[in-house]
Amino acid sequence: MDFKLNTIHSQQGRIAIVTGANNGIGFQTTKAMAAYGFKVVMACRNMAKAEKAKTEILTKVATADLDILQLDLSNLESVRNFAKKFKERYTKLDVLVNNAGILVYSGKKNEVGVELQFATNHLGHFLLTNLLFELMPDNHASRIVALSSLAHKGAKIHFDDLNCEKTDDSDAAYGQSKLANLMFADELDRRLKKSGKKIIALAVHPGGSDSGLFDEMSRIKYYTFKILSPFILNSPANAAKPSLFAVLSKEVRGGEYIGPQGFNEFKGKIGFAKRSDYSKKQDVATKLWKLSEGITGQSFL
């Protein structure tokens, strides 16, 4: 794939949302998109951190056109409120980057008892996409991008144990949530094509990246990652490149999975990423879609 960020034409007049825009990959994605001319709505849970991030971006991209709206993806009412406020301010949405994600090891749940990673990483984005989809122009430049992860490999959707309470695998819940991101993007693209829409949905993964997700690791794991990170992990700026490719490339047609091509897909040039066999199961993706509609109370496509 021949994709050079310095050859991108101005995106002036286009509106994008980036969830989790105040740090890590989301921050770098927002900064780059603002530099290309997008008006970027920073969808963030912590407003103080969002304001600080906005100020920092403006010091580096003086022309950045940024707006901030509060969004707690773990709370479905917050997602609905965000969508309502967005529609009050804007009449269209060109790009939705479902970037935000959490990694926790403490068995936390949201207010209705759903495991926090599944609620935040998948369900919140499922509902957000559902509520804002109608604002997207029906053309190939309209993009819905889901941020998945290498962690989807080896994971499955625990339909009979959605909170992953019956497993001893501490990584099961996070892996499930990132698998759900990938399968949602695939199923969404299939449904868009079936309905005759030109809007493109696809998934990306950043490779290995220390984007602030590792705070709840054991101290041994945490410091091991910190020591090894310069050798095995992408910088947040490089980790944002798959997302930028998905947003801006004219080569994608929908349904792709994009990520680094280097050793173990941790780093390297951007290209088509490897998926687990499980993630290709359309019957599972359909079942996940119906489950998500049921929990959110919102039908979709």
User: Which CATH number does the domain housing residue 132 bear?
Assistant: 3.40.50.720
Q: Is pLDDT at 292 greater than 90 in this prediction?
A: yes
pLDDT at position 119 over 70: yes
In a domain, 2, yes or no: no
Our count of domains for the chain comes to 1
Note whether residue 244 is domain-resident: yes
In percent, the amount of the chain with pLDDT more than 90 equals 80
Q: Is residue 301 part of a domain?
A: no
Q: What percent of the chain has pLDDT over 70?
A: 89
Closest CA to 214 of 133, 103, 292, 291: 103
Q: Share the mean pLDDT of the chain.
A: 91
pLDDT attached to residue 200: 98
pLDDT at 5: 72
- 2, pLDDT greater than 90: no
Q: Is residue 233 part of a domain?
A: yes
Instruction: Give the predicted TM-score (pTM) of the model.
Output: 0.92
Residue 174 among the catalytic residues? yes
Residue 300 within any structural domain of the chain: no
Q: What local confidence, expressed as pLDDT, does residue 226 receive?
A: 55
Active-site choice (174, 223, 257, 278): 174
Which domain range does residue 149 map to? 10-295
With 60 as the cut, is the pLDDT of residue 251 above it? yes
Residue 113 located in a structural domain: yes
* Residue 173 to residue 161: CA distance in whole angstroms: 10
How many angstroms separate the CA atoms of 62 and 243, rounded? 22
Angle, vertex CA 300, rays to CA 88 and CA 273, nearest 5: 100
pLDDT value, residue 230: 55
- Reading the block at residue 212, the tokens are 């602030």
**In this structure, is residue 5 part of a structural domain?**
no
**In sequence order, which ranges of the chain are alpha helices (DSSP H)?**
24-35, 47-60, 76-89, 116-117, 124-132, 172-194, 219-232, 236-239, 241-248, 282-296
